Amino acid sequence: MTKWKRIKLNEFKFPKVTDYNKEYLSYGQLPQGVELNKINKTNNNLIIENLNNNITGVGDEFTSHVMANYNTGISLYIPKSTNIEDPIKLEFNMDDENPTTIDQNIIIASANSESTIIFDYTSKDENNFHNGVTKVYAKKNSVVNIIKIQRMDDKSYNFDSNIAYIEGRAVVNWISVEIGSDISGSNFTSILEDEASEGNLASIYLGNGTRKMDLEYTMIHKGRRSISNIETRGVLMDQATKVFRGNLDFKKGAKLSKGVEEEFVVLLDPTVKSHSIPALLCEEDDVQGEHAASAGQINDNQLFYLMSRGLDIREAKQLIIQASFRPILDKIPMDDLRDLILEEIDRRLLNG
């Protein structure tokens, strides 16, 4: 597992997979023709039809493990010109009786459809384990919004592989919130297959304690005039370690395409480790690719100003960090979900 050398995953072994028996799926009224099913290995046509599509994700070992052992997840088919107004929510809460979540999810959004799907991963007991694969097929002119929240406890492991195949003028918006687990690896890959296809990824991460994170975000441009954006904002404290890999890949035929990636990280302690590895690959002329990465401590002038207005240093830092995350959190359309994330961030900032 050479990909994991910076967060030292050399001794890793997959745990025993048990059944996941909790209720995890909630949704409002679904329009006619929408097919939403829990994963069933013996009768799940969408899974069977799409098993052959290769996905490396966080690593072949992990995606193969999901294919062989998945114990939960959904298949979702959205017909043409269908708008699912209320978000579909998947809440996986691991505990001693349900210690492993191995989820396989297939989402097929037909032409001119629109949908939002929320994934929330939590855990109550030590040594819980999540490994998942999510595949999105966005047909022409469709819009798919995927919000993934990972807030597992500090002794659990999380691995998550996500891929989107995006046709002409379709849009896939990923929002990733990484604020939990001991070791976490996540991969989001968007393949912009046709003209004017669009992929956006907005993410926040918080590393506290001895957490280790490996985050890889990739946009592969194949179609003309395709557009991609990667925006990442993070905070590291204590002895946390983070590896960020942002990739813009312009393939032959992606003429007139544009991709932008940027990462901003606040370092609260001198003992953290932050590795940023942006990459720009190009096989085509007449494309625009931009990348930027910055890391630094909280501005002393900002702290002084806030403390002069009556805040103590802890409250001032908390407010600055919330402001750093706000551009990403504002992209989440549900107030209760934003409040939940902010409460978890505040708890971890206070408790370390």
pLDDT in tens, 29-58: 999 999 999 986 666 666 666 655 678 899
Burial of 66 from C-beta contacts in 10 A (0-12 / 13-18 / 19+): buried
pLDDT for res 24: 97
Model-level pTM?
A: 0.94
User: If pLDDT is split at 50, 70 and 90, which confidence band does 338 have?
Assistant: very high
Q: How far apart are CA 92 and CA 88, in angstroms?
A: 13
Minimal CA–CA distance to 99: which of 146, 75, 131? 131
DSSP class of residue 83? B
What pLDDT does residue 320 have? 83
Lowest-confidence region among 32-46, 120-134, 174-188, 266-280: 32-46
Mean pLDDT of 141-157: 97
Residue type present at position 8: K
Contact status, residue 202 vs residue 175, Cβ threshold 8 Å:
yes
Phi, psi dihedrals of residue 315, rounded to the nearest 5°: -65, -35
Residue 270: exposed, middle, or buried by beta-carbon count in 10 A (0-12, 13-18, 19+)? exposed
Higher pLDDT, 50 or 117: 117
Whole-number average pLDDT of the chain: 91
Distance CA 60, CA 75 (A): 22
What is the per-residue pLDDT across 174-207, written as a single tens digit (0 to 9) for each?
Answer: 999 999 999 999 999 999 999 999 999 999 999 9
pLDDT, tens digit, for every residue of 200-211? 999 999 999 999
